[in-house]
Structure 1
């Protein structure tokens, strides 16, 4: 009986010690979960998973990934159900969302510069401008379709405007997903068939295929854009270390493309992000040096 009692007391002390250690671990990370909203575009998968990796491996935070469409992504940060996103394409692509939700969140500025959106074709397609699509014979060759991505995406709204402004009544904008769009493009490219798709850079498809943007003389798609980091109101007070890191997060199209190419080649997003973070220790340190203090 005495031995059993001693074992019971020892077990109880062990359980209490584990609980205390767990409590200390929770306290060291703030006991909080960072909720990141993102759209399942190759570019945004790359950037959001890199942010997730840094938050977890460098700041000791727990991260919840919220994959949604563009509208709900903005709405989530605006109403506080998401803490942040690093996927706001401005000033053009997400202009309508910025107008609707911008005053309900904080813009931390560009995390990547030098982006572009528009319509693209393989270089073997003998046209150079969106205006050239009005050729009825070409419309027939293209089966009267422009292959798009998720409905509600900024580039889809711009393409609907382009169809109207350029008088492309022979065309239908196909709604799909970014992955399905690329599959259609790769299939046509392998068979040397004409195709026109909604496109943006950075994107690995420009590294793997010879593509070109169609000129946009009416400026429907705007000029060069930036990808901004947006956070919910109050994040600076609730999670100052997370806020400071997100405020300092900044990289290049070449950085993003490296992660995208690895994912496209078969790496899991988590693994591609982890490899990039490990290979760019100095750059990551510059993002987190103040956040870790």
Structure 2
């Protein structure tokens, strides 16, 4: 075979290999998973973050279903691939038990919110400063601490606080909504109340509240809210994985949207879409 013939044959092989590679790349892109499920807990901050990341993913062509679950079920759903992601993993303390049990079955992408914390709070008109002060007159609070959904990390820490501080009070189970309703009622009447709470939460922008100091450190220090995804997501939906990996919100942004969600007739999906539309640069950065 002549030199020109051999060169032509080599060129043909190169072209074929390039075409095959391009075909594989195209197929891989075409095969990216487009239907996603995000699990979340019905805490005010998680509702905001979940709806915002949903809106951002939908702008990129994904079909996103969000599913409210308890904290334990949320972690389990991601670990078993029933859900692709969550943006409501409180670490290192609040969800420590879930993380310890399932860390090998999920991928932790790190914080999407920093400066978070949990604890107990009272209105500023209540004249106590520490958790220990409740002992002075527990009857003033009806012998109760108003809690949220049973099984939440905050509730487990609250049970430990009652034990460690030897408090003669009962932890009342409920939800974010029932806790806020109790606070709203007590605040209107200027009655003493102790609530389980966390930052970020819109209640701090609505009422004058203060955290009770925690000398024993039961509630831990500053926390982060992390994005945790299925171990399969990076392979199945690399572009969605990138968005989730880069997803971040400031406390100020999250609490501002929470306040909007608390207005009569507000729709969390609509407020999230409005935030995404008003913050294009931030949202686009998540895709880079």
* TM-score > 0.5, shorter chain as reference: yes
SS at 1:34 equivalent = strand
Which ranges of 4 or more aligned residues in structure 1 deviate by more than 2 Å? Answer: 27-32
SS at 1:141 equivalent = helix
What is the CA–CA distance in structure 1 between the aligned matches of 2:143 and 2:205, rounded to whole Å?
27
Cα distance change on mapping 1:178 and 1:69 into 2, 3 Å: same
What is the CA–CA distance in structure 2 between the aligned matches of 1:177 and 1:206, rounded to whole Å?
17
Q: 1:234 aligns with which of 232, 235, 250?
A: 232
* Runs of 5+ consecutive residues of structure 1 not aligned to the other structure: 1-26
Kept in 2, the 8 Å contact 1:122–1:212? The answer is: yes
Kept in 2, the 8 Å contact 1:28–1:60? The answer is: no
Q: CA RMSD in A?
A: 1.2
The structural deviation recorded for 1:32 is: 2.8
Kept in 1, the 8 Å contact 2:32–2:236? The answer is: no
User: 1:187 is matched with which residue?
Assistant: 185
The structural deviation recorded for 1:102 is: 1.2
Matched, 1:130 2:131: yes
What is the CA–CA distance in structure 1 between the aligned matches of 2:271 and 2:255, rounded to whole Å?
11
The structural deviation recorded for 1:265 is: 1.1
The structural deviation recorded for 1:204 is: 0.5
Cα distance change on mapping 1:226 and 1:193 into 2, 3 Å: same
What is the CA–CA distance in structure 1 between the aligned matches of 2:33 and 2:220, rounded to whole Å?
43
Kept in 2, the 8 Å contact 1:29–1:61? The answer is: no
Cα distance change on mapping 1:31 and 1:216 into 2, 3 Å: closer
User: 2:94 is matched with which residue?
Assistant: 93
Alignment map for 1:60-139 (pairs within 5 Å): 60-135=61-136, 138-139=137-138
- Number of aligned residue pairs: give it: 259
Cα distance change on mapping 1:207 and 1:286 into 2, 3 Å: same
What is the CA–CA distance in structure 1 between the aligned matches of 2:33 and 2:129, rounded to whole Å?
54
Q: Normalising to structure 2: TM-score of the pair?
A: 0.88
